[in-house]
Structure formats: C-alpha cells, structure tokens
Chain A
Amino acid sequence: MGDTKLDVLQGTLDLMVLKTVESMGPLHGYGIARRIEQVSGDALTLNQGTIYPALLRLEQRGWIHAEWGMSESNRRAKFYSLSRAGRKQIAKETQNWERVAATMARFLAENS
C-alpha cells in the first residue's frame, strides 16, 4: 500500500456502492468490491470487508435490496440491486458531491 493511494473518505463509499450497483445491475459483494477497485484504477485503499457494513447500512435505509442467488461460479451469494429510493438517493448525492467538488476546486485554484 503505497503513499499515493487514497483512503476512502467517510460517506463516499456509500455513493460508490450505489453507483456500482446502478451501473452493473444485481451484483454480489465481491463483485461490487472488485468493481470499485477497478473503476478507481486501484488508486483507492479499500479493505474489501468494509463494504459489508456499508451494504447493510444501505439496505437498512431501503436504498438497495438483497437477495440470495447463484454466482457465475455456481456459489450461493447475496445479490444486491438498486431500489427506487436508492436511485433518487444517487441523484441527490451526485449533485451534492459535484457541488462540494466544484467548491473545493475553486478554493484550491484561488489559493495556489
């Protein structure tokens, strides 16, 4: 784990998981974790385990559904899919995140 890797920011993991489930359709935990690593280009330090409490949290809030199914390698796995509330949440969070990012970008540009 080199110095150049980023720690996952508090709160960003939830959005990543939601977004992943949105783009990939129903997916198991391992798939979600791998997908996040791939998309981030391995720039993130992600303990894969941390996505499980996140998945439970999202499920408790009703943003995703979980269902037992069979994986491509014929293993019983829990598949997560996006709910309608989850879709709305993505839109909200995305907007929010973009605003924060834009603000940060402006702030950093001014002070550099």
Chain B
Amino acid sequence: MEWIRILLSRCTALFRRKRLDVELDEELRTHIEMAVEENLRRGMTADEARTAALRSFGGVTQTKEAYRVQSGARLAESLAQDARYGLRQLKRDRGFTLTVMVTLALAIGANTAIFSVVNALLIQSLPYAHPERMGTIFFRVEGAKPLDGLHAIDGTQWETLRDNVPSLIAAVYGWISGVNLQAGPRVQYVHDARVSAHYFDVLAIRPMIGRSFSEEEDRPNGPKAVMLSYDLWRSILGGEPSIVGQAIRLKSESYTVIGVLPEGAQTPLNADLYTALQPSRTGEGGGTNFGVITRLRDGATWQQADAELNRAWAFRAADYAREHPGGGRLHFYSVPLQRGETAELRPKALTLMLAAGLILLIASANIAGLTLVRMTRRVSEVATRMALGASRWRIQRQLWIENLMLAGAGGAVGASVGFAALRGLLALLPTHFLPVARVALDGRVLAFTLVLSLLTSVLFGMLPALTMRRVDLRSSMGSHAVAGVEKLRLRQCLIAGEVALSLVLLAGAGLLIRTLIHLETLPQGFNPTGIMTGTASLDDARFQDPAAFAKLLDESTAAMLRIPGVENAAVGLSLPYERALNDGVTFSDGKEAGQRAMSGEVYATQGYFETLEIPLLAGRYFTASDGPNTQRVAIVNRTFARRFYGNENPVDRVINKGVVIVGVVSDVPVAAGLDATAPLAGEQMVYIPAKQFGGKLLAMVHVWFQPSWIVRTARPVTGLTEEMQQAMADADPGLPFSGFYSMKEVLAKRLALQRVEVALLSALAGLALLLSAVGIFALVANIVAQRTREIGIRLALGASLGQAMTHVSAMGVRAVAAGLAVGLVLCAGVLPLMHSVLYGVSVYDASTGLAAVTMLVAVSLFAATAPALRVARIDPARTLREE
C-alpha cells in the first residue's frame, strides 16, 4: 500500500495526525482479520475468506479518505500545501519579500516598543495588592478658567484628611531627598523618602523584618526611626537581621532601624531608605508640600470617600472662594493611583502610540501597493490554476496564506526589533524618569504584536485580494497583463495617503525640534562653558547651625580655589536650568509697600555670579563683607525688577522688612516653578547671601535641595572632580559629593523629556519618510517596467527622452501632490493637539511647515525620478520588434 506511506510521510509534520493514521490502520486491519476469521469459521478457504471480507468492507482506500476528511487531516494537508507553495512564491520574489519584511519589522518593531511603554505605564496593574482600591487626590475648579490636576496638600489638610475621612487609609510623603549615611568608616550618599505612618499600609507592604512607622514616630519631634530597602540592607549595611533595633548614623544623627522591606518590594518613591515625615501644620507643612496616597477601606466606596473628603476640606474650598472672587468652585476627588501617577506622561505616551499607529498605516499602504503589483504579475498564474480547476475560494485562501506568512514573519522580526528599540529608548531616559520600576516585553505586549501582525496582513492583503476576485479567465490567460488604469489609481491613492500621513509626522516632529532648539538656545544670561558643578546633601544635623554652615562654605570654596587651573569657585542653592525655591516676598517701601508676591529664591556665596559669569546690570555683586551680622541684602534679576518696579531702579529699595536690594543681574533660564507653562523660563528671582540665609528655612531647604559647588576653569582640567572631592574632604571629611555635572548635563537633565520626545517622533517621522519614498519609488519603477512597450512606441514616434520620463514620473508626482494637499488639511486638524508640548513656536509655524513640505517634496521627487531614468535604457527598436 504505497499511497499510505506517501500520505504518512506527508503528514510527518503533523505529529498527531500521523498517530491517528497509524491507529486507523491498525483498527482496519483488525476489522478485516476478524471478518476473515469469521468467514473461515463458516468454512471458506483462506483466499475466499479474505476476498469476501474485503468485499463486505467496501473500499479500504475510500474509507481512509473519508476518515481523513472527517478528522480534518485533509484540510491541514491542503493548508500545508498552500503554505509550501506560498513559501516557494515568496522565495522566488526575493526582492518583494525582503522589502515587505523590512517594512513590517520596522513598523511592528516601533509599535511594539512604544506599546511596551504604554503597557507598563498605563495598562499593567501596579505591583501592590488590590491596586484598584488605591488612589490619590486631584482637585478641580469649574468655571470660566477650569483647572484640574494632582493636588499637593499642607499640614492642616493632612490632619483633617487623616482624622475626618474614615473611608480612606491615607498617607503623605515629602520630596525625596539625598542624605548622608554612615556605613562603617565611609559616608555614603543615599536616597531618603520621608513618609507618614501607614504609608506601607496603603501600599499593603509588610516589612520582611521588623515593623513600619508607628504614629508616635510620625509625630513632630518623635523618636528618629528608619526603614531600609532590601537592597540597601544587603549591600551596604551587612544584611544581618539583627540590625533591627540597632541605631545607624544618618544625617549625622542616630536613627533606630525598625524594619527592612521585602526583597523586590517597590514603592512609588523607590528610595534606598525611609524615614518618618513627622508632618505638622508649620514649617514644611505650612505650605502644600506633601503628596497623598490613599487606600479605600473594606466596605467603603469611592463616592463615600470623596464626599467625606470634600466635607473635611470645606475650609480649603472656602479659602479658595475668598481668594478668587468670581472664580469657580474648588472641589476634590479621588483618582486611581496609576492614573494619578502617570497624569503627565499619559498624553505623551498616547501621542507616540498614535504616531506609531500612523507608521503602521503607512507601512500597510506601502505593502498593499507592492502586493498589488505582485498580484498583477500573477494574474496569468492564477488564471492557469483556475483553468485547471482551482476554486476561487482556493485561490483566495492561497493569497491570504501568503499574506499571513509574511505578516507572521514580519511580526516575529518586528518583536525582536521592538525589543532592541525598547532597550535603546530606555537607555535614553534618565533614571527614575518613569514611575515604574521596569518595562518588560510581557505576554500582553507579545499578544499585541501578534494582533498587529494579523491586522497588517488584513490591511495590506485586502485590496489585492479584492482585485483578484475579478480575474476573468478568458481575458487573462496568455495575455501580457498590463496594469489597468483602475489599479494604478488605487496605488496612487495609497501613495497619496502615505505622503499625507508622513507630512503630519514630519510637521509634528519639526515642531518638537523647534521647541527643543528654542529651549536649548534661550538667552543664557551666563557662560555655561568651563563650569563643573558638584552636589552634596546638607540635610545633615551638623549644618543646621548657620555658623557651621558658613564655615563649611568658606573652607570648601577656599580649598577649591586652590585646585590648579580653577579660576573661580562658589556655592549656590540651585543652578541655572534648575528649579529654585519658591518663596513669598514682601515689599517694604514706596508705593508697593505691603504687597506680597511669589518669587524664586536662591542663596549664593560671594563669587556665585562671577563664577557663572552672570552679568551685573546695576548696583553690585555680593562681597565678603555681606555676613551674618551686617546689613541684610539681596540681588534681584531683571525680570523681578521689571515686574515689580517697572522702569524704576530697584537698587536701594527694601523688601522683606529690612533687606536692601543692592544689585540687579541678568536673567538666567530656570525650571519654571511658579508658572509651569514652559520647562525653562526666565522667572523673577531673588538672590540672598548664603550667610544671611538663615533661621528655620535653612534646615528645610536642605531637605528639598542639594546645593551645588561650582568651579570655573579656563581649560579642561583632568581629574577635576577627584580634586573637588579632595577639596571638600579637606573642609569636611564626612561630606561626599552626590554627583558632578557640567552645565550641559544640567540642561540635558532638565530637557530629558523634550529630548526623548524629539528623538522618538523624529525617528518615527524619518521612518514614515523612508517608507513613503520606497512606495513612490516602487510605483514609478513599476510603471516603467510595465509600460516599456508603450514608452518604446512613444520614443519611436518622436517623443524626446525627457518627455517620456516626465510622462512616467508624472504619475508619482501627481500622487505626491494630492498627498501633500490632504496632509496639509490633516495637519491643520491634528497639530493643534500638540499645543501643550510646544514652547516658543506656534502650532501653525510657517517655517516648520515649509521645511516639512520641502523635505517631503525633495525626497518624493528623487524617489519619483530615479526609476524614471531607466526610460533612457529603453531601446525603441527592440521593444517594437518584441511586439
């Protein structure tokens, strides 16, 4: 029985089917042998018995065939056959297959990478128990100027939230800060998160050893206690469980270790260690300096919680109404924690996802065009198969199987491209930038990629498959298929669509690039070259005394000035490009007397302006004589002078009851803290001599800010940072620098988000441009190939080469022109959505639009004319002979 073996060998790939076959064989053999036995018993001869048995069985072959059809093996076989045939076809069209695969890999890869981030940020549940019961608090002001956003609270609000909102377990946290930890003989710089009692109850994290903060430890001036992250405990503090109950030296004070968090435990703050916030109504708690997280208690609902919240904070709403007469009503509401934490990143992530989706559309349009051409070439093949009896369904199935194979392979390559792209993307981001610990390619991402592959195969396969349905057997057989006018139109439409989408992406990327350029080239107002800065934590008991602080500043700057090559050195609370302290200023004289305003505030040692080379516009800089016991002075920047004193000279005016303004300096760009409409702006700023910056505020600002030591060198000095560390050690052996940054790095850190946006959107726009160019090139190249005869005749009839070439490329150019027109309309609709991320450039920026159009036109023209050059190689005589 030869056929069985053939069939069996065909099915080797389908393992189960093979077993079924073997079983059926055995079953049938048994059947026949039983029949033979029975016949023998009836007295037939052996031959007769076998013949009779086979006769009453009917056809063994037919039975097996019927059985296989029933078992589904037949369908699997014919599908496998189609797949093998498709594979051969794809191998033969190597250029086509390669182009499609690369296009798909890039498009699917880009989508996979961006979706991974979207997944990690917006979809994956937070790594806590019952994350749906966790929240944070937003505020909303309705009315003429609606406001909506994350709400930071002050000490009074915290106490009412804690005591009068029974539906919620709530906790507050302060700004994460850097602190100095004594570990053995060395002092280490680590990240400290200050959290209230019940913070870990909200997160539902139980310490691995010990306990979390008690309410006693969270009271102002309560016992000093610390909880350690697992990693810190293992790496720096020895990893002995007996550490719980012992004291460690933190911020030059003794803290009792009360607990260690479990391995891998994540918190929204992800700090090395945790200390009690000890919130109160004064000091830090006097302003809205706390963030909130909440967990709904069992049995309570969010509606209840929100109602209680608004009742508890009614005083706040009343204050707001008093301060904003005619403004809308302020009210508060709970927001799921994940949405609250990603409020800022969500629109950006979704914009990128949209852009990636456009890339997928462009890629699909491109591949649809290519497939269309391929189908045209295969019309006679299809017609032959149909003439030999293949059904239309079989032909369609063949086409779809080829599409699916392409999409599947493209998806597989795309997943790995996406993985690589994701690595690259994460490397671009600064650490602690995303509010999630890691971004992984999980099952959901892979499922997304799979769905995407199927979707593209449908998108690009649909048009060609539809055109194939109309293949007419008689006219197609044997004729040299020429692309119909209709099919050409279709391809032109596809190209126009691609060009339109590319234009949108190019214009969008252009606007972001303009924004970045604007931000990076803001009038600097200082000289950033030749500057090296180092930050250190002064959140340390030893430096709360103004005299000790002053001594540190004097001795460390003096030591740094002794480094060979250093021209100038100073210390400042914050640097240009960084965020400054926001503080209220009271005007004490003239017609402004009694008024209050908010301003940025920076303490600076003598030499701060000289080191940064911030020009003096009026008055004087700080001098060595501006000490703790002399006349209190201040220097303001130009914006401050303009805004509050108009055209008058602010020098010698008095603010804050007795602080005399002695100088005006030019503006430097800072991270906007007062009016956060742009990442960098020139805000009003008050500079105070470091030694006059005193009182309670000194300890508090050092919780929030790490001051910078700034040195200027004429030329690069090798080993400068080591020298700076040594100079610091000379002044204070227990004070490590937490990091060294050039001004370029400070700026990069500030504009990290903008840079990532630009990099990503530019990459996507570049991809779109490339794909469109490939599409146009393929279109025109194809027309040339298909119309060789027609062009030959034109040439023979006296058309010039130029005319013939123009005739051919015109089809591509027309598609591009239509695409540009549609694209401009799309831009008008889509670009205004980018409004919130643009600075220093308007949504309808003419030069950006022009640049995008020019670039697209240049690339398109190249793509449309390059293949037309082949016209020159057409020999009219030969084409006519071939006729």
Take A53-B70, A57-B70, A78-B23 as given contacts and tell me if A30 and B34 are in contact as well, using a CB distance cutoff of 8 Å: yes
A53 adjacent to B30 (CB under 8 Å): no
B31 adjacent to A30 (CB under 8 Å): yes
Chain A stretch 22-73: residues in CB contact (< 8 A) with chain B: 28-30, 33-34, 47-50, 52-53, 56-57, 60, 71, 73
Would you mind naming 27 contact pairs between A and B with Cβ atoms under 8 Å apart?
A28-B34, A29-B30, A29-B31, A30-B34, A34-B38, A47-B56, A47-B57, A47-B58, A48-B35, A48-B56, A48-B57, A48-B58, A49-B60, A49-B63, A52-B28, A52-B67, A53-B63, A53-B69, A56-B70, A56-B71, A57-B70, A73-B37, A75-B34, A76-B26, A76-B30, A77-B27, A78-B23
A50 adjacent to B58 (CB under 8 Å): yes
CB nearest to B69 among chain A residues: A53
CB nearest to A75 among chain B residues: B30
Q: How far is the CA of A75 from the CA of B23 in the complex (A)?
A: 14
Contacts of A76 in B (CB 8 A): 26, 30
Q: How far is the CA of A78 from the CA of B30 in the complex (A)?
A: 9
B837-860 contact mask (Cβ, 8 Å, vs A): 1 or 0: 000000000000000000000000
B30 adjacent to A28 (CB under 8 Å): yes
**Chain B residues within CB distance 8 Å of chain A:** 23-24, 26-28, 30-31, 33-35, 37-38, 56-60, 62-63, 66-67, 69-71
B31 adjacent to A48 (CB under 8 Å): yes
Q: How far is the CA of A75 from the CA of B28 in the complex (A)?
A: 12
B34 adjacent to A49 (CB under 8 Å): no
Measured CB to CB, the closest approach of chain B to A27, in angstroms, equals: 12
In the complex, the 3 A-B pairs of residues with the closest C-beta atoms, listed nearest first? A47-B58, A49-B63, A49-B58
**Chain A residues within CB distance 8 Å of chain B:** 28-30, 33-34, 47-50, 52-53, 56-57, 60, 71, 73, 75-78
A28, A76, A77 — which one has the most chain B CB atoms within 10 A of its CB?
Answer: A77
Measured CB to CB, the closest approach of chain A to B524, in angstroms, equals: 78
Q: How far is the CA of A49 from the CA of B26 in the complex (A)?
A: 13
CB nearest to A60 among chain B residues: B70
B26 adjacent to A53 (CB under 8 Å): no
Contacts of B23 in A (CB 8 A): 78
Contact among B57, B60, B67 with A53 in the assembled complex (CB-CB below 8 Å): B67
Measured CB to CB, the closest approach of chain B to A54, in angstroms, equals: 8
Contacts of B37 in A (CB 8 A): 73
Q: How far is the CA of A75 from the CA of B58 in the complex (A)?
A: 22
Contact among B26, B59, B71 with A47 in the assembled complex (CB-CB below 8 Å): B59
Measured CB to CB, the closest approach of chain A to B169, in angstroms, equals: 52
Q: How far is the CA of A32 from the CA of B66 in the complex (A)?
A: 18
A53 adjacent to B66 (CB under 8 Å): yes
Q: How far is the CA of A30 from the CA of B71 in the complex (A)?
A: 20
B31 adjacent to A50 (CB under 8 Å): no
Contact among A47, A50, A60, A71 with B34 in the assembled complex (CB-CB below 8 Å): A71
Q: How far is the CA of A10 from the CA of B35 in the complex (A)?
A: 25
Contacts of A56 in B (CB 8 A): 67, 70-71
CB nearest to A33 among chain B residues: B31
Take A47-B57, A49-B57 as given contacts and tell me if A77 and B71 are in contact as well, using a CB distance cutoff of 8 Å: no
Q: How far is the CA of A75 from the CA of B34 in the complex (A)?
A: 9
Q: How far is the CA of A78 from the CA of B35 in the complex (A)?
A: 15
Measured CB to CB, the closest approach of chain A to B700, in angstroms, equals: 74
Q: How far is the CA of A80 from the CA of B69 in the complex (A)?
A: 21
Q: How far is the CA of A34 from the CA of B31 in the complex (A)?
A: 10
Contacts of A28 in B (CB 8 A): 30-31, 34
Q: How far is the CA of A50 from the CA of B67 in the complex (A)?
A: 9
Take A57-B70, A73-B34 as given contacts and tell me if A49 and B27 are in contact as well, using a CB distance cutoff of 8 Å: no
Measured CB to CB, the closest approach of chain B to A37, in angstroms, equals: 8
Q: How far is the CA of A75 from the CA of B57 in the complex (A)?
A: 18
Contacts of A75 in B (CB 8 A): 30, 33-34
Q: A28-B30, A28-B34, A56-B67 are in contact. List 13 more A-B contacts (CB 8 A).
A: A29-B27, A29-B31, A47-B58, A48-B58, A49-B28, A53-B70, A71-B30, A73-B34, A73-B37, A76-B30, A77-B27, A78-B23, A78-B30
Measured CB to CB, the closest approach of chain A to B172, in angstroms, equals: 60
Contacts of A33 in B (CB 8 A): 31
Q: How far is the CA of A73 from the CA of B60 in the complex (A)?
A: 22
A50 adjacent to B66 (CB under 8 Å): yes
Take A30-B34, A73-B34, A75-B34 as given contacts and tell me if A52 and B58 are in contact as well, using a CB distance cutoff of 8 Å: no
Contacts of A52 in B (CB 8 A): 24, 27-28, 63, 66-67
Contacts of A48 in B (CB 8 A): 31, 35, 56-58
Q: How far is the CA of A29 from the CA of B29 in the complex (A)?
A: 11
B59, B69, B70 — which one has the most chain A CB atoms within 10 A of its CB?
Answer: B70
Contacts of A34 in B (CB 8 A): 38
A33, A34, A56 — which one has the most chain B CB atoms within 10 A of its CB?
Answer: A56
Contacts of A53 in B (CB 8 A): 63, 66-67, 69-70
Contacts of B31 in A (CB 8 A): 28-30, 33, 48
A53, A57, A75, A78 — which one has the most chain B CB atoms within 10 A of its CB?
Answer: A53
Q: How far is the CA of A77 from the CA of B33 in the complex (A)?
A: 11
Contacts of A60 in B (CB 8 A): 70
B30 adjacent to A49 (CB under 8 Å): no
Contacts of A77 in B (CB 8 A): 27, 30, 34
B70 adjacent to A78 (CB under 8 Å): no
Q: How far is the CA of A71 from the CA of B35 in the complex (A)?
A: 13
Q: How far is the CA of A33 from the CA of B67 in the complex (A)?
A: 16
Contacts of B24 in A (CB 8 A): 52
Measured CB to CB, the closest approach of chain B to A23, in angstroms, equals: 20
Q: How far is the CA of A57 from the CA of B66 in the complex (A)?
A: 11
Contacts of A57 in B (CB 8 A): 70
Contacts of B69 in A (CB 8 A): 53
Measured CB to CB, the closest approach of chain A to B29, in angstroms, equals: 9
Q: How far is the CA of A49 from the CA of B31 in the complex (A)?
A: 9
Q: How far is the CA of A52 from the CA of B28 in the complex (A)?
A: 9
Q: How far is the CA of A47 from the CA of B28 in the complex (A)?
A: 13
Measured CB to CB, the closest approach of chain A to B52, in angstroms, equals: 11
B28, B31, B63, B67 — which one has the most chain A CB atoms within 10 A of its CB?
Answer: B31
Measured CB to CB, the closest approach of chain B to A50, in angstroms, equals: 7
B63 adjacent to A30 (CB under 8 Å): no
Contact among A47, A50, A73, A78 with B27 in the assembled complex (CB-CB below 8 Å): A78
Q: How far is the CA of A28 from the CA of B57 in the complex (A)?
A: 14
B58, B60, B69 — which one has the most chain A CB atoms within 10 A of its CB?
Answer: B58
CB nearest to B63 among chain A residues: A49
CB nearest to B34 among chain A residues: A30
A33, A47, A49 — which one has the most chain B CB atoms within 10 A of its CB?
Answer: A49
Measured CB to CB, the closest approach of chain B to A45, in angstroms, equals: 10
Measured CB to CB, the closest approach of chain A to B330, in angstroms, equals: 64
Q: How far is the CA of A76 from the CA of B27 in the complex (A)?
A: 8
Q: How far is the CA of A53 from the CA of B71 in the complex (A)?
A: 8
A49 adjacent to B62 (CB under 8 Å): yes
Contacts of B57 in A (CB 8 A): 47-49
Q: How far is the CA of A71 from the CA of B38 in the complex (A)?
A: 13
Measured CB to CB, the closest approach of chain A to B815, in angstroms, equals: 53
Q: How far is the CA of A50 from the CA of B60 in the complex (A)?
A: 10
Q: How far is the CA of A53 from the CA of B23 in the complex (A)?
A: 13
Contacts of B27 in A (CB 8 A): 29, 52, 77-78
Q: How far is the CA of A71 from the CA of B59 in the complex (A)?
A: 24
Take A30-B35, A56-B70 as given contacts and tell me if A50 and B30 are in contact as well, using a CB distance cutoff of 8 Å: no
A30, A50, A71, A76 — which one has the most chain B CB atoms within 10 A of its CB?
Answer: A30
Contacts of B63 in A (CB 8 A): 47, 49-50, 52-53
Contacts of B59 in A (CB 8 A): 47, 49
CB nearest to A56 among chain B residues: B70
B34, B62, B69 — which one has the most chain A CB atoms within 10 A of its CB?
Answer: B34
Measured CB to CB, the closest approach of chain B to A92, in angstroms, equals: 22
Measured CB to CB, the closest approach of chain A to B59, in angstroms, equals: 7
Q: How far is the CA of A75 from the CA of B31 in the complex (A)?
A: 10
CB nearest to A34 among chain B residues: B38
Measured CB to CB, the closest approach of chain A to B31, in angstroms, equals: 4
CB nearest to A57 among chain B residues: B70
CB nearest to A37 among chain B residues: B56
Q: How far is the CA of A87 from the CA of B56 in the complex (A)?
A: 29
